[in-house]
Structure 1
Amino acid sequence: MSAPIVIHRPAPATGGRAVTINGEIAGLAHNDHDLIEFLRRAGLYEPEDILDDRHWIEWRGGRAHQYEAA
């Protein structure tokens, strides 16, 4: 089973990471603050508590919490 929230690899030219929630695009996060805001808008209460929970979030293509292009 995969996590319902996916933080995709940083965009190569501009940085930022696409965020999908249950397969739907939530936006482009440039930092954890952006990510938390997307999760709040999706209805998660205290989303900062799940940022490193593998059951909730899968970080793809780069280190967690890094949003810069490589």
Structure 2
Amino acid sequence: MTASPVVLYPPDEDGGRRVQVAGEILGVAYNLSDVTVFMQEEGLQGWDEGDVARTELIEWRGGGPDVWSR
């Protein structure tokens, strides 16, 4: 996992949030489960939704882990 923060952008009109790691957009998450998959793919296989919601590695823009709509 990179030392660079993970950035989740504000929800779009469909409720998706772009996921960026080390300056690269990895895809769009629609819920915490999706973010968990992205984090696991980046090397944090033991992580669950609670870890994702609590970590300081993620910069939540436009609302925290409970915001998935505009």
Quickly name the TM-score band, shorter chain normalised. 0.7 to 0.9
TM superposition shift of 1:47 = 2.7
* Contact 2:32 2:52 (C-alpha < 8 Å) held by counterparts: no
Structure 2 gap ranges (5+): none
RMSD value over aligned CA atoms? 1.9
Q: Distance in 2 between matches of 1:58 and 1:33?
A: 17
Q: How many residues get paired?
A: 66
Q: Percent identity?
A: 37
For normalisation by structure 2, the TM-score amounts to 0.77
> Which runs of 5 or more structure 1 residues have no equivalent in the other structure?
none
The equivalent residue for 1:6 is 7
C-alpha contact 1:30 1:67 (8 A) present in aligned 2: yes
3-state DSSP of counterpart to 1:27:
strand
